[in-house]
Amino acid sequence: MGIVTSYARALAVREGRAQPIATVRHLHLSARPMVFIPLKLAGEAAAPLGAMVGTDPADPRLLVVPQPRNRDLRFAFMAELAQIMLPYIEGFATATETVTGRNERERYLDAPQILVPGGRAIEFVRLLGRSTRFRRTDGPYPVDPSVPVLGQWLTFLYERTEFAGSSALVPVTEALALHWATGQSPLEDANLATLLAWISPPPGLTGQEAAAAAENPLDWPPAGPDTDPGFDAQVLQHAIRAYDASGSPALVRQALRTQLEPTWRLMWQAVDQLRGLPEAASVAERWAFDRDQYTREVARLADGGPPRGRRDQAGPAAIRLWDMEAAQQTYDAQRAYDDPLVMTEHRATGKAFTGEAVHVDADRRILLPGGKKPVPRPLVTVRTGDPVRLTPGKKVFSVHRRKQSAEIVEIDGDIVVVQLNDQLAKGAGVPTAGDAVCFTELDLGGRIRPGFPTGEETPWTHGGPPAAYVPTDEDAVEAWS
């Protein structure tokens, strides 16, 4: 938690309402997202109990596993979930656009977006994908053909969450906490009801009062996938026993509806809250990358691509880690460039400074080492009130002229002299005296991936060249817990 966020939390307590820590929305929000609220059986890692799912706030679909310990009922639930999710996910694989550049390609104009209540639901999606993507549609214990397909898509969506800035599978509590600071702890922010109570308390109540009321599990049940222990003991247990005795799931459906409907309403309230913020400038670029990945996955599955293995091989694991780190670096920079409130956090920690250009030597030219003629290298003298913890020689970037690189030449108290190094054609990239400027070490350009060894070149220290992955019978019988 940074200085600005800590201050905003303290201010939220004083004001009785969550405080904004962003001026724009830093994630893509689909015109037609799918909300998915799963519940699981207590004591089990991935035994589904029920779910509420859909794209229309007025028309949720309730799915129920009346006896979660029954394997056939679990897979019937997954088949029913696939009938809802797959048409939505695959329905975006229609119209395309041509992306020009070094690698010209086709990309779908849109992609699916699944919203879940929070981080624990993200983990449940991972487990559902792991437990179903290897299942066989023939032989012993066959499943509906749609089940392993859904499992592959759930695994794909989960893996997208590991890359910072992706909007394919979104935990709503984390999305809200990215934009508002409440007067409760980050752990308490994982409760969707109390988080929204702080952000938008009912008339006449403070955030503290509304959040205290939202902690009542009778009025606002947990958002899943875990249910309230009191509900399990007093309601669910009896409903499941009634199903075992009668074969009718009516009581289980009624019980789960009472647990899911309040969260369903909260999810769409959160969507409206996020829609109230204007979209940040870099969101479209990140969503385009999500669409690229979706396009590739559609093609991979159409070509009969096998399920992802349970473990990455050495080479792909190294590449994946590098890409994740690069995505995080770029995402942190983009958020700061897009949003002055986010940049303030970096200014407070010394990663950026802002101020007024008090003098500009726009005509300065120098001879670079090995050069034959002088090249333009303007100097900008900045007066700043920020604590500058960068050092002379440090490479920085102009926030107002994105990707323009510069170098700190001298620091003397509140005066910083910066040399501009590129994007200087016809002086367009040079500020004038009196302009507000901001420089930061945050790099929008990301990092260039090094040349990792191919699979055949995997060194012996990492197990040598791996055998081609083929799903096994062991994969196909992986347990739900």
Would residue 329 count as lying in a domain? no
The 10 Å Cβ neighbour count of residue 461 is 7
Are the CB atoms for 197 and 17 separated by under 8 Å?
no
Q: For residue 120, give Cα distances in angstroms to 126, 175, 440.
A: 10, 14, 35
Please write the tens of the pLDDT for every residue from 305-314: 888 777 776 6
pLDDT at 92: 96
Q: Which domain holds residue 292?
A: 3-310
- Count up the domains in the chain and report the number: 2
Q: How confident is the model at residue 418 (pLDDT cuts 50, 70, 90)?
A: very high
Residue 384 pLDDT exceeds 90: yes
CA–CA separation, 166 and 160 (whole Å): 6
The 10 Å Cβ neighbour count of residue 340 is 15
Q: For residue 189, give Cα distances in angstroms to 99, 156, 252, 282, 336.
A: 40, 27, 29, 26, 23
pLDDT at 138: 86
Are both 287 and 155 inside the same structural domain? yes
Residue 407 pLDDT exceeds 90: yes
Residue 383 pLDDT exceeds 60: yes
Residue 225 pLDDT exceeds 60: yes
Q: What residues form DSSP beta bridges with 366?
A: 375
Mean pLDDT to the nearest integer, 150-158: 97
Would residue 78 count as lying in a domain? yes
Would residue 212 count as lying in a domain? yes
Mean pLDDT to the nearest integer, 186-214: 94
Would residue 388 count as lying in a domain? yes
Would residue 113 count as lying in a domain? yes
Are both 306 and 371 inside the same structural domain? no
Are both 253 and 159 inside the same structural domain? yes
Residue 469 pLDDT exceeds 70: no
Would residue 445 count as lying in a domain? no
Instruction: List all residues 6 or more positions away from 374 whose beta carbon is below 8 Å from its beta carbon.
Output: 365, 366, 367
Name the pTM for this structure. 0.91
Are both 29 and 118 inside the same structural domain? yes
pLDDT at 21: 96
Q: How confident is the model at residue 250 (pLDDT cuts 50, 70, 90)?
A: very high
Would residue 323 count as lying in a domain? no
Please write the tens of the pLDDT for every residue from 81-122: 999 999 999 999 999 999 988 788 999 999 999 999 999 999
Are both 149 and 46 inside the same structural domain? yes
- What percent of the chain is modeled with pLDDT above 90? 74
Are the CB atoms for 131 and 151 separated by under 8 Å?
yes
Local structure of 411: helix, strand or coil: strand
Which residue, of 310, 325, 349, is where some domain finishes? 310
Sign of CA dihedral 345, 347, 352, 358: positive
Are both 285 and 426 inside the same structural domain? no
Q: How confident is the model at residue 481 (pLDDT cuts 50, 70, 90)?
A: very low
Are both 139 and 211 inside the same structural domain? yes
Are both 103 and 23 inside the same structural domain? yes
Would residue 305 count as lying in a domain? yes
Are both 306 and 347 inside the same structural domain? no
Which residue would you say has higher pLDDT here, 475 or 280? 280
Are both 299 and 343 inside the same structural domain? no
Query: CATH number, domain at 386?
Result: 2.40.30.20
Are the CB atoms for 46 and 481 separated by under 8 Å?
yes
Are the CB atoms for 8 and 21 separated by under 8 Å?
yes
Which residue would you say has higher pLDDT here, 167 or 319? 167
Residue 294 pLDDT exceeds 90: yes
Are both 280 and 413 inside the same structural domain? no
pLDDT at 60: 97
Mean pLDDT rounded to a whole number for the chain: 90
Which residue would you say has higher pLDDT here, 190 or 479? 190
Are both 153 and 53 inside the same structural domain? yes
